[in-house]
Amino acid sequence: MDFNFGPVIESWRFLADGVRITVLLSLSVAACSLTFGTLVALARRYGPKWLQAILIFYIDSMRAIPVLVVLVWFYFAFPIATGINLPPFLSALVALSFNLTAYVAEIVRAGMESVRPGQVRAGLALGMSTPQIVRKIVLPQAFVRMMPALGNVLTLTVKDTAIAAVIAVPELMRRADAIAGQTYTPVEVFSTVMLLYFCIIFPITRGVDIVYKRISFLGRS
Amino acid sequence: MTLDWSIVPASAGALAHGALITIALTVLTMAVAVPCGIVVALLRESRFKPIAFLATCFVELFRNLPIILVVYWAFYVMPVVLDLSFSPFVTGLVALCLNNTAYNSETFRSGIRSIRKGQTEAALAMGMSEGQAFRKIVLPQAWRRVLPVLATTWVTLFKDTSLVSVIAVGDLAHTAMQIRSQSFRVIEMLTAMAAIYWLLGYPQAKLADWIHKKFGVTE
Amino acid sequence: MTIATAPQTAATVLQYRDVQKLYGDFVALQGVSMEVKKQQVVCLIGPSGSGKSTLLRCTNALETIDGGEILFDGVRLPKDRTAIRKVRQRMGMVFQNFELFPHKTAIENVIMGPSTVLGLSDEASRDRAEALLKKVGLADKAKNYPANLSGGQQQRVAIARALAMEPEVMLFDEPTSALDPETIGEVLNVMKALADDGMTMIVVTHEMTFARRVADHVVVFERGEIIEQGPPKQIFEAPTTARTRDFLGHLGWDG
């Protein structure tokens, strides 16, 4: 069996740019999901009943529908239905964030629930208001406790961006497919890209572990 | 914009067939990945270091890769490297099994590790053998930790089967997208696809919640 | 050793009139009437689950009462949330499990109240916090996180945190029950010093020696009711009811 890594090496710039887009998309999606996920979790806990019902339905639906389906729907059906045409990158950003926000919301909710009620009582006894308690006591501790789960979501985000290849976002997966198709060297290309993804995701998994071990005491009451 | 939903009932047969393949993929993958996960988890605890190391490499590799990439890899690379050719269905199945075996082995490993050492020691102190202590004391307790995680993995797997559509396995996603590109009824078909996934996935997600409530251990 | 005893004419800080508290069918408090005067130390004793801690939590409206009334400074505890917060700012509370905020250092814990609730400047609240940590003997631990403090040290920080609000009354909910025996003393000493300074205090406790030596007034609870109250000398040396004798007898207390 002969390997020919020539095409992979020749197109390294093309692949490197794919890595850049993968990282950019991942970070954008992670930032959006974290922001909206926290808001959804807060609204689900403190919002009016009707809003809670809608949010629970949204969260459970996102747990039931594949990312691919959400992605494809946003890219192909959404523009026809609304007349709004988004470029692939933005479509992927919206669709992936829409999906991952639900996961983050669940994590934030569980994190907030895991903060001992005594902590809230201590805040109340100091005369703090509920928004003050949420902001200064519950959320900071919850975020520390949620770190492993949020780390998981971050790796999940990178993995999900690979699915955006399906709607032609020129990220790493898409570029690998393109090179493999043009040069007839799928073994070399996909093995290389496998290594690249591993090199992106593995450090996140490990890094979150290491950081969490050092700061977990901040969330332990 | 005019919508013509008649395409959905007209394709009911094809969609149902796709849904069956999606379900079959889920069930078969789990049927393979649970026992394989146990084996890999045990291999990682092996006293023979090279075996443990290889098992760890396997798990870390597949846990840290996008599944869609594993699917492509299984489709393009595996046949060349192993000199075997599979149907798309089997190729997709292999990719999902590789991935889920890695996940499940982590689930089993942490389930077993979560049982305090004192429990084994108490059993040994009662005169049980190591095997007995594992079977009678550790396993029944670990099971309660493992089952809820497996339920969550199941729901995730059900959704992830949609990714094998990229190698033309005739699952629900692939079938729906095929009909979409032939009929140009984009909104109708994609919405129908989402709705069918929702109808199948929602009860599974709720069942997983129930299992978490019933068996879940809270620290 | 001087023990400040409250003059009989002192103003009443807290007054409980026929207080009742229910959890479903369970009667947690029934017909509880007592008062706390300025600079008085009142100890609530009795078996676990007898309603002492519940009464304490009702006092700063962490729990609502179902009957009777509680007057603070002559005014009935309000129902309105904002008004309740104002009342809580005038009471300090110390919990059995300390409830220090784990993501804040010792001094940040003490600063939390003055800066977020009283709206003091950073500098003013820091000065206040430093003085209080010095008072409870922990000036050198100001930058430690709770995880790096012993139980006794954590509880002393918690006392400083409550004092930072300059409360008119301090509520102690079994402050030494979660402590290792060797650190109980340091916390009780801080509480004793507070009492000597003339702080008005309600203390739920199982530390009978503390109650006997520091309290001006002791209240004995059983099954949500007050079975006896009076000066410590009466309660510990000549209890008037058989049930008080029983309770003290179970503790191995022989007067």
pLDDT of amino acid B217: 66
Interface test with C, best of A46, A116, A119, A126 (most C CBs within 10 A): A126
Query: A112 to chain C: which residues are within 8 Å by CB?
Result: none
Q: What distance in Å separates the CA atoms of residue A88 and residue A76, rounded to the nearest whole number?
A: 10
Distance from CA of C63 to the nearest CA of A (A): 10
Residues 6 or more apart from A173 whose CB is under 8 A from it? A18, A22, A161, A162, A163, A164, A165, A193, B66, B68, B69, B72
pLDDT of amino acid B128: 85
B4: closest CA among B179, B165, B199, B200? B179
- Alpha carbons within 13 angstroms on the beta-carbon side of residue A132 total 18
Distance from CA of B166 to the nearest CA of A (A): 8
- Joined together, the tokens standing for residue A206 give 């490990």
Residue that is written with structure tokens 């020691």 in the block: B121
Distance from CA of C252 to the nearest CA of A (A): 32
pLDDT tens digits for chain B (219 residues)? 678 888 888 888 999 999 999 999 999 999 999 999 999 998 998 889 999 999 999 999 999 999 999 999 999 988 888 888 889 999 999 999 999 999 999 999 988 888 877 888 888 888 888 888 888 888 888 888 899 999 999 999 999 999 999 998 999 999 999 999 898 888 999 999 999 999 999 999 999 999 998 887 654
Contact between B150 and B107 (Cβ < 8 Å):
yes
Contact between A33 and A97 (Cβ < 8 Å):
yes
Residues pairing with C15 in the sheet: C35, C71
Q: Which spans in chain C are helix H? A: 52-59, 81-88, 106-112, 122-135, 151-163, 181-196, 208-214, 232-237, 242-250
Which portions of chain C are predicted below pLDDT 50? Answer: 1-3, 6, 255
- Joined together, the tokens standing for residue A174 give 């898409």
Chains A and C touch (3+ CB pairs under 8 A): yes
Chains that touch B (3 or more CB pairs under 8 A): A
Judge whether residue A134 has pLDDT over 70: yes
Residue in A64, A162, A202 closest to B66 by CB: A162
Interface test with A, best of C103, C125, C173 (most A CBs within 10 A): C103
* Domains of chain A: residue spans and CATH: 6-219 (1.10.3720.10)
C-alpha distance from residue A109 to each of A67, A98, A141, A213 (Å): 22, 17, 12, 22
CB-based contact C101 A122, cutoff 8 Å:
yes
Give the distance, in angstroms, between the CA of residue C70 and the centroid of all CA atoms in the same chain. Answer: 16
Element (H, E) at C75: strand C75-76
Is the CB of A7 inside 8 Å of chain C's CB atoms? no
Residue in A124, A129, A217 closest to C145 by CB: A217
pLDDT of amino acid A77: 92
∠ Cα C128 C131 C134 (to 5°): 150
Phi, psi (rounded to 5 degrees) for B118: -55, -30
First to last CA, chain A: 59
Q: What distance in Å separates the CA atoms of residue C92 and residue B88, rounded to the nearest whole number?
A: 69
What pTM does this model have?
0.86
Is the CB of A105 inside 8 Å of chain B's CB atoms? no
- Joined together, the tokens standing for residue C48 give 């676990």
Residue in A125, A144, A219 closest to C93 by CB: A125
CB-based contact C99 A116, cutoff 8 Å:
yes
Residues 6 or more apart from B92 whose CB is under 8 A from it? B25, B71, B74, B161, B164, B167, B169, B171
Residue in C86, C103, C117 closest to A141 by CB: C103
Quick: pLDDT tens for A150-197.
999 999 999 999 999 999 899 999 999 999 888 888 888 999 999 999
Distance from CA of A182 to the nearest CA of B (A): 14
Query: B64 to chain A: which residues are within 8 Å by CB?
Result: 155, 197-198, 201-202, 205
Q: What distance in Å separates the CA atoms of residue B72 and residue B88, rounded to the nearest whole number?
A: 11
- In this structure, what DSSP letter does residue C7 have? P
Is the CB of C83 inside 8 Å of chain A's CB atoms? no
Residues pairing with C219 in the sheet: C44, C229
Closest residue in chain B to residue A79, using alpha carbons only = B187
Quick: pLDDT tens for C96-107.
999 999 999 999
C-alpha distance from residue A47 to each of A53, A57, A112, A143 (Å): 10, 15, 15, 20
Residue in A116, A121, A126 closest to C165 by CB: A126
Query: A202 to chain B: which residues are within 8 Å by CB?
Result: 60, 64
Query: A119 to chain C: which residues are within 8 Å by CB?
Result: 99, 101
Q: What distance in Å separates the CA atoms of residue C163 and residue C143, rounded to the nearest whole number?
A: 19
C63: closest CA among A136, A138, A124? A124
What is the predicted ipTM? 0.90
Distance from CA of C158 to the nearest CA of A (A): 10
Q: What distance in Å separates the CA atoms of residue A4 and residue B219, rounded to the nearest whole number?
A: 53
Contact between C112 and A126 (Cβ < 8 Å):
yes
pLDDT of amino acid B57: 95
pLDDT of amino acid B134: 81
C-alpha distance from residue A199 to each of A13, A187, B149, C200 (Å): 17, 18, 27, 63
What is the arrangement of strands in the sheet containing C217-222, beginning at the earlier edge strand? C91-94, C169-173, C200-204, C41-45, C217-222, C225-230
Is the CB of A213 inside 8 Å of chain C's CB atoms? no
Query: A161 to chain B: which residues are within 8 Å by CB?
Result: 66
Distance from CA of B2 to the nearest CA of A (A): 10
Taking the CA atoms of B171, B177, B181 and B182 in sequence, report the sign of the dihedral they define: positive
- Joined together, the tokens standing for residue C58 give 């009702």
**Percent of chain A at pLDDT exceeding 70:** 100
